[in-house]
Amino acid sequence: MKPNILGADAVEWLGVHYRTILKAADTGGAISVVDSVSPAGSGPPRHIHHDADETFIVLSGDATFWLEGAECTRGPGETMFIPRGREHTFRVVSSTPCRHLVILTPGGFEGFFQEMSASGCRIPEDMPAIIECADRFHMSFTGAPL
């Protein structure tokens, strides 16, 4: 097993590395922050966080964000805010990985990445199990990746 690029306390799922740097448990549930590195060409299926706002701070690489039909690209030093309840996704469009901080308010969704890493679920093969886990974290999938 190769070491995780974000350190020993990080997890990997489907080639994306996640390290929780601020847990919801440490903030009374108010916020969580996850440091993520996504490979070139990667991105999640379209989805909705029903109970959390999501803010991305891009540290390196470039990602195109899709928010209910509108697209924009963000690079290092830029941000993208996704209000709760809005359908969205992103895709890494740079030839290098995209490192970004994901800030969720309120916190708690960081547990999804931990569970998915531990389960080793694959997309699309294991979507029923992924959907069941996502439901526990107040997220639903709505469509294909970009």
- The domains found in the chain, sorted by start residue, are 11-140 (2.60.120.10)
Using CB atoms within 10 A of its CB, is residue 111 exposed (0-12), middle (13-18) or buried (19+)? middle
pTM above 0.85, yes or no: yes
Give average pLDDT by consecutive 10-residue segment, the chain, 146 residues. Answer: 70 94 96 97 97 98 98 98 98 98 97 94 93 96 92
Question: What pLDDT is stored for residue 118 in this prediction?
Answer: 94
**Cis, bond preceding 44 (omega within 30 deg of 0):** no
E strand or H helix that includes residue 10: none
